[in-house]
Amino acid sequence: RSFRRPCIQSGGGGGTDHSTAAALVDANTQHGGKRGSLLERRPAKQKPVLSKEEEERLIKMVQESYYYQGATTNIHPLLSSLVCYTHPVKFSGFDVAEQNNLHFHMSSFSESTGLNLIKQCAPEWVNYNKRQLSRIYPKGARVDSSNFLPQIFWNAGCQMAALNFQTPDVCIQLNQGKFEYNDQCGYLLKPDFMRRPDRTFDPFSESPVDGVIAAHCSVRIISGQFLCERKAGTYVEVEMYGLPTDTIRKEHRSRLVPANSLFPVYNEEPFVFRKVILPELAVLRFAVYDDSGKQLGQRILPLDGLQSGYRHISLRTENNQPLTLPSLFVHLQLKTYVPDELSGLVDALADPKAYLSAQEKREEALQQMCVDELEELLAPVGPDSGGRTTTAKSSSTNFDGNASIRRVAAQNGGCSTNLASSTQINSLDSGRLISNQSPSMCGKDSSQSNVVITSGGSTPRTTIPLTADGYSTTTIDGKFQVKNIEVTELRKEKVFLKLQKRISKDKEEMRRRHQKMRENVLKSQQSSVEKLVGNSSTTTNILTTKLSLKRRNHPNNASTDAGESNKIRHISLGNRISDPVQMGGDSLIRSLIQNQTDEWSTLIKRIEIEQFEQRKLHTKEEYELLRRILTERQKQQQLALKSRFEMENRELKQAQTKKSMEDIRAVQQDKVIKTKAERDRRIKELNERNLKLFMEERKRLATRCRRHEDQLEKKHSEQLESLEKESVRALELEEMSHRETLLASQPQCIV
């Protein structure tokens, strides 16, 4: 729908609006003559002119009256079911997309946005691409129609990468070469771990993915055929694209064969891609250049579609069009990646016969090395206690050489004829650990000197002997064992002895005070008794005189003496004899005796109670002090255990640092590695492996220390519980003894 601007009539009239001009034109068209005469009077070629206000009013009126009605078409359900459709939506975040869980939604990302997502949250984007589609388009700054590397986004699981096909650079060649695998049609299925929701994948991972076996690729460029029509020098570059850790560019280049483009023979050393973490995402690129740097041909091949052997690789143009004659003759070698420290074991498993023959040769060499040591051991030892010389029975005994050497090795503990154990695999070393020793060291412990020989034949170096757990042999559980705390030892502490002295002093003071109380009561009772019995002293003297006379008259009559002596019960403290018979009739005397008995019994009971309370208080003080001393001892043991752990951790870190430096030095001195990039890659891989290994060692050490700490805490809690039970038992014994004393007490007095 469009609209026309109105015209201005002649005669100086004002301008009219759009509807009036349109009506005039329509009227002229329909009625011809009459309306046409009005239009003919207009000046020729005069354009309509509107004021600014009229234009704004006209535009506003058109906008208000305009309404777009979208065209709708009904599609047959059968056709709709056959077509897979997507709904483009704006990306709102990974959480929102996961919450909506709509698989037909598709989002578009610019190159810059995609790179930021890969840098910041690559695993989340991989999980997003498991569920929905993502398409990447070049950033707006690519005004020269250059392309981005699609492999970066393929690693994150992106399904669509928009490229500029008018620029046949490496990026477009990589795209065409990858999809040539399925004849440029359909789709390529992503690896299993990039599709399953129960798997997690990080594109920047430098360690093998669970369930995926890393590959080892070796490419040897032998020759080329019909590379160029003109006479020129040529060389070949081999590159690999894949994960960031698998991508290798501008490193492997053959030598330049001058003035021979028809049949150049390169015969190069193999280009080794030592470790390919993810072969399913990796591709190989072969590119042929002339001496001026112009590309003569290229070919991109997926790594998982190659097989080992001699191959002729036909080349393609920059636009991936096949060339008829140009090709490369190469030798490919694909196998499973094996770490350097396990290469000896893998070789032995691959060819057991060759390994056993090499082992027999080593046994023979070891026998020759240990002959001198054997002769020394079988030589005369010296005179015994009887003066006879003890000699070895080598002359009279026929022995097997291998058995004798085994006996010698068993006596020395240093050499072993079984060299299967000599090629030990040290989990902390990137090289091979050889435990066989020189003849001068056959009599020593083999654990004192371990020699590491790297794959590059570098200088041997000594390493710290380690146990199966990866720890040094000096690191044992005995370092973390603590001594049990005994109560008898706590009682020998200076603080406890000082408390016992104070307790003894308090007991002595209480004893003196109680003794003084007894003396005071006794003195008071004695004075009361003396006052009461003073009046009856004459009668007592008469009875005493009679008794003495009877004894003189009847010296042998013991029964008479006994009968008479019963009349006198006791003698007071003032040496006055009292007769209970005479006093029995005196109620005052009986009352005094009863009162004194009650008073004395009460005093004894009160003294016993005070002594019990003092013993109870002293027991509580003793065990409270023992508890404090025990707590301090336990804190000291915990600090000692912590300091031991810190010392062990520090020693472990020092050993790890030393080993890491030695490994890096060995890689730097390895003559097999020729390029700096490969050396840096080896060092990076070594650091990553050592980091993982070192972290596991530290975790094991921390777990061991935590286990000892838990055991120590449990032991400390048991000690506190035992001390608490002993304290309760001591208090119960005191109370029981006090109750027994009270129950066994009887009324008593001193007269």
Six-digit token pair at 612?
A: 């019990």
Residue 543's pLDDT is 46
- Residue 156 — very low, low, confident or very high, per pLDDT cuts 50/70/90? very high
Among 329-343, 385-399, 607-621, where is mean pLDDT lowest?
385-399
Residue 478's pLDDT is 58
How many C-beta neighbours within 10 Å does residue 463 have?
19
> Measuring CA to CA, how many Å separate 687 from each of 337, 430, 616, 670, 702?
18, 11, 67, 16, 22
Q: What percent of the chain has pLDDT over 70?
A: 69
- What is this structure's pTM? 0.54
Angle between helical axes of 33-40 and 18-31 (0-180°, round to 10): 130
422/497: higher pLDDT: 497
Asked whether the predicted pLDDT for residue 224 surpasses 90, the reply is: yes
- Residue 686 — very low, low, confident or very high, per pLDDT cuts 50/70/90? confident
Three-state SS for 549-609 is HHHHHCCCCHHHHHHHHCCCCEECCCCCEECHHHHHCCHHHHHHHHHHHHHHHHHHHHHHH
Residue 685's pLDDT is 84
365/612: higher pLDDT: 612
Contact predicate 690/426, CB 8 Å: no
148/561: higher pLDDT: 148
- Residue 576 — very low, low, confident or very high, per pLDDT cuts 50/70/90? very low
Contact predicate 227/262, CB 8 Å: yes
Asked whether the predicted pLDDT for residue 132 surpasses 60, the reply is: yes
How many C-beta neighbours within 10 Å does residue 669 have?
13
Amino acid at 699: K
- Residue 155 — very low, low, confident or very high, per pLDDT cuts 50/70/90? very high
Q: Say how far apart CA 185 and CA 191 lie, in whole Å.
A: 18
The mean pLDDT of 496-512, rounded to a whole number, is: 86
**Beta strand ranges found along 202-308 (DSSP E):** 215-225, 234-241, 248-253, 271-276, 283-290, 295-302
Query: Measuring CA to CA, which residue among 743, 505, 512, 717 is closest to residue 630?
Result: 717
The mean pLDDT of 737-746, rounded to a whole number, is: 83
Asked whether the predicted pLDDT for residue 460 surpasses 60, the reply is: no
In whole numbers, what is the pLDDT of the chain averaged over residues?
A: 74
The mean pLDDT of 440-461, rounded to a whole number, is: 37
123/208: higher pLDDT: 123
Asked whether the predicted pLDDT for residue 705 surpasses 70, the reply is: yes
Contact predicate 442/433, CB 8 Å: no
Contact predicate 256/290, CB 8 Å: no
105/211: higher pLDDT: 105
Q: Which residues pair with 283 in a beta bridge?
A: 241, 302
Q: Say how far apart CA 645 and CA 659 lie, in whole Å.
A: 21
Residue 738's pLDDT is 84
Asked whether the predicted pLDDT for residue 604 surpasses 70, the reply is: yes
**Beta strand ranges found along 67-207 (DSSP E):** 87-88, 105-110, 133-137, 160-161
- Residue 676 — very low, low, confident or very high, per pLDDT cuts 50/70/90? confident
Q: Which domains does the chain have, with CATH numbers?
A: 18-65 (no CATH), 82-194 (3.20.20.190), 215-337 (2.60.40.150), 343-379+400-463 (no CATH), 503-536+587-751 (1.20.1230.10), 544-578 (no CATH)
Asked whether the predicted pLDDT for residue 195 surpasses 70, the reply is: yes
Q: Say how far apart CA 564 and CA 552 lie, in whole Å.
A: 13
Q: Say how far apart CA 113 and CA 93 lie, in whole Å.
A: 12
Asked whether the predicted pLDDT for residue 342 surpasses 50, the reply is: yes
The mean pLDDT of 51-79, rounded to a whole number, is: 73
Which residues, at least 6 apart from 7, have a Cβ–Cβ distance to it below 8 Å? Answer: 21, 42, 46, 47, 48
Angle between helical axes of 352-369 and 343-350 (0-180°, round to 10): 120
The mean pLDDT of 147-172, rounded to a whole number, is: 92
Asked whether the predicted pLDDT for residue 545 surpasses 80, the reply is: no
Looking at residue 244, the DSSP 8-state letter turns out to be T
In the sheet that 271-276 helps form, which strands lie side by side, from edge to edge?
248-253, 234-241, 283-290, 295-302, 309-316, 322-336, 215-225, 271-276
The mean pLDDT of 519-529, rounded to a whole number, is: 82
Residue 750's pLDDT is 66
- pLDDT, tens only, 106-123: 999 999 999 999 999 999
Residue 405's pLDDT is 38
- Residue 386 — very low, low, confident or very high, per pLDDT cuts 50/70/90? very low
Asked whether the predicted pLDDT for residue 226 surpasses 80, the reply is: yes
Asked whether the predicted pLDDT for residue 467 surpasses 80, the reply is: no
Asked whether the predicted pLDDT for residue 377 surpasses 80, the reply is: no
Q: Tell me the torsion sign for CA atoms 193, 195, 199, 200.
A: positive
Which residues, at least 6 apart from 685, have a Cβ–Cβ distance to it below 8 Å? Answer: 206, 275
